[in-house]
Amino acid sequence: MKERSIRVRVPATSANLGPGFDALGIACSLYNEMTLTLTESSGLEIRARGEGAPYIPSDERNIVWKSICYLLQRAGRVDEFRGAKIYMSNRIPLSRGLGSSATAIVAGLTAANALLDKPFSKQDLLQMATDIEGHPDNVAPAIYGGFTVNTVTDGIVECFSFLPRIFMRFVVMVPDFYLSTKSARQVLPAEVPMRDAVFNISHAAMMVAALARGSEQHLENAFSDALHQHYRAALIPGMFDVFAAAKKAGAYGAALSGAGPCLIAFVPEHRRCTEAVAAAMRDAFRAHDVEARPLHLRMDTKGAHILRRRSMPANK
């Protein structure tokens, strides 16, 4: 029997985008790649290089392997493949709000599904990824690419993915500290005032409408939020000053990327001011004794996809 290997590429993501808490997301042009070989014999060989490699588990705790096992179980083939070789090349920073865990989940599901000759659709993979992750805002753009609007109704996930009619670049500032999603969620209240809920519904709707129609003027205040950023501001020194600096330097607006601590600015393509925005955000962070490095990104339009498929003789 021959073992088959497959290599996948999955984009980084940014979720929430200000008012779209747990609902909106984008795929960005920063990628993790993973090669998977499923084996009949038990045992794991997991290797990682790049961002966060020393912190990635190389045993059954690995989220890529857990996702693969979840899909094998759903496919009824868990007894057929008892082990795997997983080689990861990571460029997405860990615990920074750029969807590193979602990327790992989607990589495992996409690669395993391809090796099984795709018994599951993208919608199926989205549902599985959401079941594992807990919410769809990062896994959806990782699967579909582009800008995604995501809902969960009675446990069923739906995703609408589209490419905005406004061309933007993203400046992502990566602070020199980690922030776990768990910690960032613990500071959020269990209930919020009605006025804050209405505020976010209206601003999230305005953002989607402006991007779909190409109306720049309606993005002026669209990135404002009342549900999560104010509560998380104490975890990220100078956050609102960095937002203001980005906007003053020419960005449409800025937001906390996912649960943070990365901050993302949305910069008009035609203004050619990404360097100025990055410098302004860096200086605003430094005023609060935080060092941060910029990532200059674009929107990814493909989502997770297969790079290479090959067969090799099984080890004897």
pLDDT tens track for 239-273: 999 999 999 999 999 999 999 999 999 999 988 89
User: Using CA atoms, how far apart are residues 122 and 19, in angstroms rounded to an integer?
Assistant: 26
Q: Which residues contact residue 10 at a Cβ distance below 8 angstroms, ignoring those fewer than 6 apart?
A: 31, 32, 33, 34, 103, 106, 107, 110, 142, 303, 304
Query: For residue 29, which amino acid is it?
Result: S
pLDDT per residue over 71-119, tens digit each? 999 999 999 999 999 999 999 999 899 999 999 999 999 999 999 999 9
Please give the CATH architecture assigned to the domain spanning 2-163+301-313.
2-Layer Sandwich (3.30)
Q: Which of 153, 46, 32, 22 has the alpha carbon at shortest distance from 92?
A: 32
Query: Can you read off the two tokens belonging to residue 136?
Result: 């769809």
Query: For residue 199, which amino acid is it?
Result: F
- H runs (alpha helix) in the chain: 63-75, 100-115, 122-133, 139-144, 181-186, 194-213, 229-232, 239-248, 274-286
User: Using CA atoms, how far apart are residues 315 and 192, in angstroms rounded to an integer?
Assistant: 57
What's the whole-model pTM score? 0.92
The pLDDT assigned to 315 comes to 47
Query: Can you read off the two tokens belonging to residue 36?
Result: 């998977």
Percent of the chain at pLDDT > 70 equals 97
At the topology level of CATH, where does 168-297 sit? Alpha-Beta Plaits (3.30.70)
Domain map (residue ranges) of the chain = 2-163+301-313, 168-297
Q: What's 110's DSSP letter?
A: H
